[in-house]
Copies of this chain bind each other. A is one copy, B any other.
Amino acid sequence: MSKLIQSITSVVFIIMILQPSSVFAANEALMELLKALQENGTIEAKTYQLVKSVAEQESASNKVAATDTVNIEEKIEKAVETRVEEYKKENNEVTINTKGKFEVASNDGDFKFRLGGRVQVDAASYAEDASRQNDGTEFRRVRLFAQGTLSQYWNYKLQYDFTGSGINGLQDAYIDYRGLKPVSIKFGHFKEPFGLQSMSSSKYVMFTERALMSAFAPGRNIGIQLGTHGDNWSLNAGLFGQGRDGAIADDDEGMGVSGRATFAPRFSDNTRLHLGAALSYRNTGSIDSVRFRERPESHVTNSRLVDTGLINADDFTRIGLEAALISGPFSIESEYNYIDINRTNSTLVDLGFSGYYVQGSWFITGESIPYKAQKGTFGKPRVKGVVGKGGVGAWQVAMRFSSLDLNDADINGGEEQNFSLGLNWYTTPNIRLSANYINVLNVNGGASAGDEPDAFQVRAQVEF
């Protein structure tokens, strides 16, 4: 109960108790006098009775008053709270979230608006081997987004990355309708459902860059998707066009279909298994070609050690398998991708490229990688102690082996294998500093065969 009500009621109660007491006293003195007067015969029994009955009526009404005063504490308490609640409804229809992000929401659930962003700034230094790598700094991602809810069931998101130019900077831009539970319908520009590392936010991936096989990730396209989920599983499938801008030359866009299923049984409070599988088919439209290539898990340099070049193709199919185990501060995670390319020249055999990675991490400070079971992705760790407020932040060490094979038949894109060590320091829930060491173990085949540089990279990341 609030202090105000306590104070008011106690004060009022004092009034109630003290004032009547004087009235009762007045009656008491009168009754004493009355008694004395009757006893000494000054007044008759009749007069005595009359005056006494009037006085008793007083007592009765005083008792009513007393009874009422007993309830007054309760009544005022209720009254003040009623008014306070009323005031909240009138004037506080809106809740402003400031727990590490800016969000405004109407209390009726009808409206939500959130504005936020992320900045990732990198510096890298390379131990060059055969080819030139470029030491330097860059902004990896500089994003702003607006996100919200309209009319309760209609969610939207608009996210832009200023490292891109014009429409090429556009990231998420979609509407997500949640009014047909358990199914949600999403349309606009968003990631095709495929892969664990590619569906998880770049803010929370274990290393500064995703593993080599992200060369195969379909990324974001304009499309429509149906999704559903349970407490520990998710299922999404969609139909997608190509890119985010209109036709550039006289080409029809290619189209794709992607689907992903995840299942994540919980073994104990802090142990969880993630299993996932995805399939993605895409035709190349009238562009009739496809290309896969990848930087050496560091983005400051422009060199790609593996690159298929343009391959004439009608369509291609991706398959992805995912597995991960999180147990308290420990995690281990692995994915495998295979891609089959159906070439335009039907006399040429289909091409098959593949990639995989295995990575593990340990939060020295005891945090755990959060898993969003309804999406089948990883999330933002809960930092136990914030730097500047007596804590040391969250410290995570990580290790990765990754491989990408772009050699097949007549295509000699190269096969690369990397070993990486990583350190992530979340100084606060919203700020992450990372250091990565990437060792290119092998490059077999391709234009950069045998070129095996090392990279040392640091990143500062803030999200708001």
Query: CB-CB < 8 A to A111: which residues of B?
Result: 98-100
Q: In the bound complex, do residue B464 and residue A86 qualify as a contact, i.e. CB atoms below 8 Å apart?
A: no
A449 at the interface (CB under 8 A from B): no
Query: CB-CB < 8 A to A289: which residues of B?
Result: none
Which residues 73-123 of A sit at the B interface, judged by CB distance below 8 A? 75-76, 78-80, 82-84, 86-88, 91-94, 96, 98-100, 102, 104-106, 110-111, 113, 115, 117, 119, 121-123
A33 at the interface (CB under 8 A from B): yes
Query: CB-CB < 8 A to A142: which residues of B?
Result: 158, 160, 167, 170, 173
Given A40-B44, A98-B94, A162-B170, the answer on whether A300 and B246 have CB atoms closer than 8 Å is yes
Which residues 430-452 of A sit at the B interface, judged by CB distance below 8 A? 430-431
Which residues 1-54 of A sit at the B interface, judged by CB distance below 8 A? 2-8, 11-12, 14-16, 18-23, 25-30, 32-34, 36-37, 40, 42-44, 47, 50-51, 54
Tell me how far the C-beta of A132 lies from the nearest C-beta in chain B, rounded to whole angstroms.
Answer: 4
Bound CA–CA A187/B121 (angstroms): 9
A248 at the interface (CB under 8 A from B): yes
Bound CA–CA A449/B87 (angstroms): 69
Bound CA–CA A251/B300 (angstroms): 11
Tell me how far the C-beta of A427 lies from the nearest C-beta in chain B, rounded to whole angstroms.
Answer: 7
Query: CB-CB < 8 A to A15: which residues of B?
Result: 12, 15-16, 65, 68-69, 72
Q: What 1/0 flags go to A293-321 for Cβ under 8 Å of B?
A: 00000011110000000000000000000
Tell me how far the C-beta of A306 lies from the nearest C-beta in chain B, rounded to whole angstroms.
Answer: 18
Secondary structure of the A side of the interface? mixed
Bound CA–CA A12/B75 (angstroms): 10
Bound CA–CA A5/B94 (angstroms): 24
Q: In the bound complex, do residue B167 and residue A25 qualify as a contact, i.e. CB atoms below 8 Å apart?
A: no
Tell me how far the C-beta of A133 lies from the nearest C-beta in chain B, rounded to whole angstroms.
Answer: 8
Query: CB-CB < 8 A to A119: which residues of B?
Result: 156, 158, 173, 188
Q: Choose, from A147-155, A266-274, A399-407, the stretch at the interface.
A: A147-155
List 3 A-B pairs, minimum CB-CB distance, nearest first.
Answer: A4-B83, A134-B247, A179-B388
**Sample of 13 further A-B pairs with CB below 8 A, known A37-B42, A138-B244, A142-B167:** A8-B80, A8-B83, A19-B20, A23-B26, A33-B34, A42-B43, A100-B151, A119-B188, A121-B187, A138-B245, A150-B464, A246-B299, A247-B302
A selection of 25 A-B contacts at a CB cut-off of 8 Å is A2-B83, A4-B86, A7-B76, A23-B26, A29-B58, A30-B30, A96-B104, A100-B150, A113-B115, A113-B464, A117-B146, A121-B187, A132-B250, A135-B253, A136-B241, A138-B222, A139-B189, A142-B160, A144-B160, A150-B428, A151-B386, A162-B169, A165-B166, A177-B427, A178-B388
